Amino acid sequence: MPTYRYLALTPDGQKRRDMLQAESERQARQQLRDLGLFPRQLTPVTAQNTRSSRKTKISTEQLSLLTRQLATLVEAGIPLGDALNALAEQADKTSTRSLMIAIVERVREGYSLADSLKAHPSTFSPLYCALVAAGEKAGRLAQVLERLADHLERNQQQRQKARTALIYPLVLICVCIAVVIGLMTYVVPKLAAQFERSDMALPMLTQCMISLSKGLQHWGPALVIVLLIMGLIGRKALQYPTVRARWDQQLLRLPRLGELLKLLDTARLTRTLAILTRSGIDLLEALKVSRDTLGNQCMRTAVEQIRDQVATGVALNKAIAQTGYFSPTLRHMIASGEASGQLDTMLERIAVAQETTFNRRVDTALALFEPLLILTMGGIVLTIVLSILLPIMRLNGAMHM
């Protein structure tokens, strides 16, 4: 059924833009009139005029819901075109509806679902497209979509947990910085003026705080601008592959952070490989797709080296051992999976173990970080307060003598 994008007026004169499906333009106008709208512009939607939807990006939560719903419809025996059309009709947002309609149009033109999804790389990752292609080829599209939905939901839960865990420390840091800036730019200068009028000898701590306060007042805005410029320059520099590779390599060498980054990327790699190999995708293609899910450039290069070694006939566990980025335990578990013919199951176990270890270490780090942050900021505030109280106490002592 053709789709039309319309511009109509409500009875009170407000403009409304949306899309609807109808057998013809005349029927589309009649549907708008039945809704109490006055059509002003009606344009057929085709695959050629939906290029803007290629840049449409929907949230992971919404993509997971659409994937789950599509899996349910396909499992029920509903034709793919009708299932996609049903998802387009029930979409709440216009951008999502436009995206689904563009996919429906390409499917009706004879493209496979995977090829239709590849036209929207901002929404559908290479992993998503590869799994859908494997599902279509094997005739197990519903099962593959279920696994995809599980994978997306798991990633969303991890992101949500990380955001929730970081909210309190970030709020605490912002409040502490605001308190320190307020003391240094408002309280200390006023008291410094009083001390200067008294012509009394100030303690060294008070003199240092007054100097810092004056420097912050005079050079504070310039310092903020310099930090912003340096941040922008650093962000731009990280877009160059060589600079990004050196930066990522230094991150991996950090004592605690490097271990966490390795755990995170190892979990991503093994989880993605498990999903891909279980869906019938060959190991070389699975390694190629899994590489793009990693965040560290050095780890990506290592996976590329693993893929080159596997392509020459080297076993996966031996190729992993040659990189030096993965633990011996992981190599032995993969070797066991290859020997038993249950590589996907072993990769799944490794992913669960790596994710559990990562979550435990992050929780421990955050539990230690919060009291350390409170003690540090408390020490800074105490130092500022002491610099204010010391001359006052000395002045009171002089008055009582």
Looking at residue 47, its pLDDT comes to 47
**pTM (global) more than 0.75:** no
The answer to whether 251 and 245 have CB atoms below 8 angstroms apart is: no
Residue 48: pLDDT above 50? no
Confidence of residue 205 (pLDDT cuts 50, 70, 90): confident
**Least-confidence region, from 189-198, 220-229, 272-281, 311-320:** 189-198
Top-confidence residue, 206 or 197: 206
User: What pLDDT is stored for residue 49 in this prediction?
Assistant: 47
Does position 126 have pLDDT exceeding 90, yes or no?
no
Q: Looking at residue 112, what DSSP letter applies?
A: -
Which whole number is the average pLDDT over 130-144? Answer: 86
Least confident residue range of 105-114, 187-196, 245-254:
187-196
Whole-number pLDDT of residue 2: 65
pLDDT band of 233, cuts 50, 70, 90: very high
| pLDDT beyond 70 at 67 | yes
Query: Is pLDDT of 395 > 80?
Result: no
Which residues, in sequence order, are CB contacts of 277 under 8 Å at separation 6+?
283, 286, 343, 344, 347
For 120, other C-beta atoms within 10 Å of its C-beta total 20
Q: Which residue has the higher pLDDT, 401 or 80?
A: 80
Read off the pLDDT of residues 325-349 as tens digits, 9 standing for 90 and up: 888 888 899 999 988 888 888 998 9
pLDDT digits (tens, 9 = 90+) for 277-293: 888 888 888 898 888 88
Q: Mean pLDDT over all residues of the chain?
A: 83
Read off the pLDDT band of 226 (50, 70, 90): very high
pLDDT at 294: 87
pLDDT in tens, 3-27: 666 777 888 877 777 666 677 777 7
DSSP state of 37: -
Q: Are 7 and 20 in contact (CB under 8 A)?
A: no
pLDDT mean over 243-249? 89
Cα–Cα distance measured from residue 27 to residue 6, given in angstroms and rounded to the nearest whole number: 13
Q: What is the pLDDT of residues 151-182, one digit of tens each?
A: 888 888 877 877 777 787 788 888 888 888 88
User: In Å, how far are 78, 270, 374 from 98, measured between CA atoms?
Assistant: 21, 35, 49
pLDDT at res. 307:
92
